[in-house]
Amino acid sequence: MFGFVRRVPESDHRERMICADCGHIDYQNPKIVVGAVVVSQGAVLLCRHAIEPRVGFWSLAAGYLELGETLEEGATREIWEEGQARIMLEGILGIFSISRIGQVHVMFRALLSEAGAPPHFAAGAESLEAGLFPWDRTPWDNIAFPSTRWTLDAWRRSGIGPLGAPAGNPADDARGTKPLVMPPAASS
């Protein structure tokens, strides 16, 4: 940022970007990502990314919380924008810290809201396609992010009853520092 210098402000312990002219401190804080595992008849709604990051890979519908939104409003909006689905939120499924990229993911469990009707969903503007996937047909080799895998695992463990305490990061990545490792490409 032009005119800003990096230094530790008085009575602080971290370097911050500070305006060299007026002393304004530009605090950089994690971003909140909201989304949901949307379920219909035991299958999960996944969307294939049409935009970066990870174009062409599958993910749960999720994205950044906007100013002025509640967590629930943001998750509902993201599901609509990416998967054109109307949902009923059941509760928070997991809260995941991704410190390496400065994000906190709050993921809900949800149902498609058209009870008794054929499920309605479609690719939104940020998706190449959307689909309902039973567990054994999930495109595991093409999942976009570790947090998608963590959330799907939490959903599987949660069952269909009431939700307990939200899931968190797996023990082997408690701070969310490990990048996604893709399996080797299949040989032709």
58-116 pLDDT per residue, tens: 999 999 999 999 999 999 999 999 999 999 999 999 999 999 999 999 999 999 987 66
Alpha helices (H) in 84-145, listed in sequence order = none
Say what the pLDDT of residue 114 is.
72
Q: Which domains does the chain have, with CATH numbers?
A: 31-173 (3.90.79.10)
DSSP state of 167: B
Q: CA 2, CA 105: separation in Å to the nearest integer?
A: 31
Cα–chain-centroid distance for residue 79?
11
pLDDT computed for residue 106 by the predictor: 98
pLDDT of residue 24: 93
Mean pLDDT value of segment 137-153: 96
DSSP class of residue 171? G
- Residue recorded with tokens 């495109």: 139
Element (H, E) at 81: helix 71-83
Structure tokens, 34: 């909201």
Number of Cβ within 10 Å of residue 63's Cβ equals 18
User: Quick one: pLDDT at residue 185?
Assistant: 58
Backbone torsions φ then ψ of 94, nearest 5 degrees: -160, 155
- What is the C-alpha end-to-end distance of the chain, expressed in Å? 48
| Nearest-angstrom CA–CA distance, 127 and 30 | 25
Spatial distance between the Cα atoms of 49 and 186, rounded to a whole number of angstroms: 21
pLDDT at 123 (0 to 100): 98
Tell me which residue of 61, 72, 73, 184 sits closest to 131, measured CA to CA. 61
**Per residue in 154-183, pLDDT tens?**
999 998 888 988 999 999 998 898 877 766
Q: Taking residues 2-27, report their average pLDDT.
A: 91
**Which ranges of the chain does DSSP label H, i.e. alpha helix?**
71-83, 146-158
Tell which residue, 111, 110, 105, has the closest CA to residue 168. 105
- Per-residue pLDDT, 108: 98
